């Protein structure tokens, strides 16, 4: 336990000095504030409180930003040690690879959690100070917060796995950015293209829900949109949220962090220094 | 007294490359052993096998009565990898404190440890600002943690200035006196010969020689070179008396096998006044080293 804590403290210190902490906090705070202020104007007629509207736009923000931050923090974790030549040294210490990985995860996840909670806290206080009814949006915001942290854990795990597989930080960075583009941006576009081509056939009715659940970012979006009932305000893929039960997307967002971390562990175990 | 490290018939093959072939050796407690060999001879590979970082293809390795890389072995073995560069964002003290905690030791030992390798004044500066030798000393400091029974040091003196090297070997003497075994690799025979108990020479993955410098010198049996300076005008007389000598101005250069050395010396002293001066040059350390390293055994 002491070894895990020491690893986590050391990693946290490194992240602090590499400005990752500052970057994560500032990005989450600034974007959350901007979205809250922008989203607060056109309410009223919809019968939805300010915060619930904001949660819908914060969900989109988290889908892009949280995986990006997680991958940026994790791509160097193993490849960096390998390149600096400290990995063989570390592996001769009486510490297991699992402990090393968990130590790094705790540090990186703590930074992500603080950033998410800061952004969401700011959004909540701004919304509630302008509209007392906004407190009714708090459960949705809280759900968004913890599911964002789970999403972060998934992408941290995937980032560690990429880091272990590529062995070089430059290679790991390239893989991480490609993965982000692929899962967060291109995946949805590709699905849309297939749906259009499929024209209501087998793919649209049978495979499409699974395709959404299989992508941690989409599952996260589905879960938050369906649970908040704000799906109607989101266009495109968000519309599918109504068709897929919330328990399925919940299952996906709970399962993914475990799968990603097991993947990271397996990839790290295969590294020979 | 059991040995700290025992290797029997160790072979390590990478895809296609045989890095180590049938290497057997043992290191006793308190013994300082130097591992020499050309680039790619297999020194680092052997160390990694000893540490359990890579598996042996065949053969047995026992480290402190345990298997390489097992928890028991890891607790008792310290390592200094070649070219280790610690994270530039951490200070020397933070880095060593972390390593202390990983070994379950008191983190407050960090400053005394850094002082022991001469880094006391820089301990609170980031490693990114350190010079090459200073970074190497951080590596040495972490290898001293927790009284290891075996220290495996891969080119520990690379990047150290001559004075620091002296201090480093003095440190090793202290450790060996406390009973620690030391296996270090180096490219400088001149440096290790006085400061280690035994020298191992690896050549293309095979153990080409093992022993003290005196042993190696005897085993190599390289010829001795004699420089004879003639008194004015006697150079030709001497050249006649010493067949095979090469004339270089007033001096004559002569090589002879170790076994003939005394006989030749006798003949030269027999020349009496004709000889102004005589110099005997034993084979240099480099000669002995290249003899074994080239694999001309
Ligand atoms: N991971 C690896 N995969 C394939 N071949 C390897 C690997 N590691 C080492 N080798 C090969 O094994 C041989 C021994 O390498 P090693 O690093 O042990 O040499 P060395 O004696 O430490 O050399 P140097 O003095 O340059 O440090 C070399 O031919 C090298 O190419
Ligand atoms: Mg080497």
Beta carbons of B99 and A93 less than 8 Å apart: yes
Q: Are strands B5-13 and B58-63 parallel, antiparallel or unpaired?
A: antiparallel
CA dist., res. B185 & res. B107, Å (int): 29
The 3-state DSSP class for residue B122 equals helix
CA-based max dimension of chain A = 65
Residues from chain B that touch A3, judged by Cβ atoms under 8 A, are 101-102, 104
The 3-state DSSP class for residue A89 equals helix
- Beta-ladder partners of B225: B255, B281
Q: Which atom of ligand 1 is nearest to the CA of B12?
A: 12
Q: CA quadruple B243, B247, B252, B254: dihedral positive or negative?
A: negative
CA dist., res. A5 & res. A133, Å (int): 42
Query: Torsions phi, psi of B166, nearest 5?
Result: -55, -45
Distances (CA, A) of A134 to A29, A42, A267, B266: 19, 14, 45, 110
Beta carbons of A86 and B85 less than 8 Å apart: yes
Q: In the predicted model, what is the mean pLDDT of residues A103-116?
A: 95
Q: Which atom of ligand 1 is nearest to the CA of B42?
A: 18
Number of domains in chain A: 1
Any A CB within 8 A of B130 CB:
no
Any A CB within 8 A of B90 CB:
yes
Give pLDDT tens digits for B110-152.
999 999 998 999 999 999 999 998 999 999 999 999 899 999 9
Any A CB within 8 A of B51 CB:
yes
Any B CB within 8 A of A19 CB:
no
Q: In the predicted model, what is the mean pLDDT of residues A92-108?
A: 95
Give pLDDT tens digits for A216-241.
998 898 888 876 655 444 445 555 55
CA dist., res. A151 & res. A157, Å (int): 10
User: Which domain range does residue A45 map to?
Assistant: 2-269
Residues from chain A that touch B54, judged by Cβ atoms under 8 A, are 272-273
Does the structure show a pLDDT above 90 at A44?
Answer: no
Residues from chain A that touch B84, judged by Cβ atoms under 8 A, are 84-86, 89
Angle formed by the axes of helices A97-130 and A246-269, to 10°?
A: 150
The 3-state DSSP class for residue A260 equals helix
10 Å CB burial of residue B263 (0-12, 13-18, 19+) is exposed
Residue ranges of chain B with per-residue pLDDT less than 70: 1, 295-297
Distances (CA, A) of A130 to A47, A50, A54, A138, B158: 16, 8, 13, 14, 66
| DSSP string for residues in B188-236 | -HHHHTTT-SEEEEEETTEEEEEE-HHHHHHHHTPPEEEEEEEPTT-HH
Rounded to 5, what percent of chain B is helix, strand, coil?
40, 30, 35
Q: Are strands B206-211 and B198-203 parallel, antiparallel or unpaired?
A: antiparallel
B46 CA from centroid of ligand 1 (Å):
9
CA dist., res. A155 & res. A55, Å (int): 21
CA distance B252 to chain A (A): 53
Any A CB within 8 A of B92 CB:
no
Beta carbons of A92 and B51 less than 8 Å apart: yes
Q: What is the structure's pLDDT at A177?
A: 92
What structural domains does chain B harbor? 5-211 (3.40.50.300), 222-283 (3.30.70)
**Residue B45 Cβ < 6 Å to ligand 1:** yes
10 Å CB burial of residue A235 (0-12, 13-18, 19+) is exposed
Confidence band of A261 (pLDDT split at 50, 70, 90): very high
Beta carbons of B104 and A13 less than 8 Å apart: no
B22 CA from centroid of ligand 2 (Å):
19
Does the structure show a pLDDT above 70 at A156?
Answer: yes
Q: In the predicted model, what is the mean pLDDT of residues A243-265?
A: 89
Which among B75, B82, B86 is the nearest to A86, CB-wise? B86
B40 CA from centroid of ligand 2 (Å):
7
B51 CA from centroid of ligand 1 (Å):
15
The residue whose CA is least distant from atom 17 of ligand 1 is B44
CA dist., res. A245 & res. A212, Å (int): 12
B57 CA from centroid of ligand 2 (Å):
19
CA distance A94 to chain B (A): 5
Beta carbons of A6 and B81 less than 8 Å apart: no
- Beta-ladder partners of B79: B152
């Amino acid at each position: 336990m002491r070894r895990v804590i020491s690893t986590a403290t050391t990693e946290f210190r490194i992240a602090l000095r590499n400005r990752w902490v500052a970057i994560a906090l500032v990005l989450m705070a600034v974007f959350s504030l901007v979205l809250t202020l922008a989203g607060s104007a056109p309410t009223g007629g919809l019968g939805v409180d300010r915060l619930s509207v904001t949660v819908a736009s914060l969900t989109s923000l988290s889908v892009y930003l949280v995986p990006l931050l997680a991958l940026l923090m994790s791509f160097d974790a193993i490849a960096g040690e390998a390149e600096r030549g400290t990995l063989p040294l570390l592996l001769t210490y009486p510490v297991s690879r699992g402990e090393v990985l968990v130590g790094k995860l705790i540090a990186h996840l703590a930074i992500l959690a603080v950033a998410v909670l800061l952004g969401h806290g700011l959004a909540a206080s701004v919304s509630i100070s302008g509209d007392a009814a906004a407190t009714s949006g708090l459960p949705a915001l809280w759900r968004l917060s913890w599911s964002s942290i789970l999403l972060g854990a998934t992408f941290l795990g995937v980032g560690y796995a990429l880091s272990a597989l590529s062995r070089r930080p430059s290679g790991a960075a390239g893989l991480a950015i490609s993965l982000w583009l692929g899962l967060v941006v291109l995946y949805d576009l590709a699905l849309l293209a297939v749906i259009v081509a499929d024209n209501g056939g087998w793919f649209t009715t049978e495979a499409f829900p699974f395709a959404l659940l299989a992508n941690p970012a989409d599952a996260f979006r589905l879960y938050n949109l369906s649970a908040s009932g704000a799906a109607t305000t989101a266009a495109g893929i968000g519309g599918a949220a109504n068709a897929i039960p919330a328990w399925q997307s919940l299952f996906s967002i709970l399962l993914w962090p475990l799968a990603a971390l097991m993947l990271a562990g397996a990839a790290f175990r295969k590294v020979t220094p | 007294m059991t040995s700290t490290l025992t290797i029997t018939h160790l072979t390590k093959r990478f895809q296609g490359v045989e890095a180590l072939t049938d290497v057997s050796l043992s290191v006793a407690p308190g013994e300082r052993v130097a591992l020499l060999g050309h680039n790619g001879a297999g020194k680092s590979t052997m160390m990694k096998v000893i540490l359990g970082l890579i598996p042996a293809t065949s053969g047995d390795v026992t480290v402190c009565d345990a298997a390489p890389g097992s928890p028991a072995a890891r607790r008792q073995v310290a390592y200094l990898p070649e070219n280790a560069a610690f994270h530039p964002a951490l200070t020397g003290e933070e880095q060593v404190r972390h390593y202390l905690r990983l070994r379950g030791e008191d983190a407050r030992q960090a400053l005394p440890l850094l002082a022991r390798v001469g880094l006391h004044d820089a301990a609170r500066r980031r490693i990114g600002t350190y010079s090459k030798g200073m970074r190497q000393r951080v590596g040495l400091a972490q290898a001293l943690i927790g009284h290891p029974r075996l220290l495996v040091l891969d080119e520990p003196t690379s990047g150290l200035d001559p004075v620091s090297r002296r201090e480093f070997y003095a440190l090793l003497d202290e450790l060996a006196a406390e009973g620690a075994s030391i296996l270090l690799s180096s490219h400088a025979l001149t440096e290790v010969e006085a400061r280690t108990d035994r020298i191992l020479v690896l050549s293309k993955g095979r153990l080409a020689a093992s022993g003290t410098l005196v042993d190696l010198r005897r085993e190599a049996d390289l010829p001795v070179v004699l420089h004879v300076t003639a008194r004015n005008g006697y150079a030709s007389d001497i050249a006649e008396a010493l067949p095979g000598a090469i004339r270089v101005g007033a001096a004559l250069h002569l090589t002879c096998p170790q076994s003939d050395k005394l006989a030749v010396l006798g003949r030269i002293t027999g020349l009496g006044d004709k000889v102004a001066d005589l110099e005997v040059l034993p084979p240099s350390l480099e000669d002995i080293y290249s003899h074994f390293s080239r694999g001309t055994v």
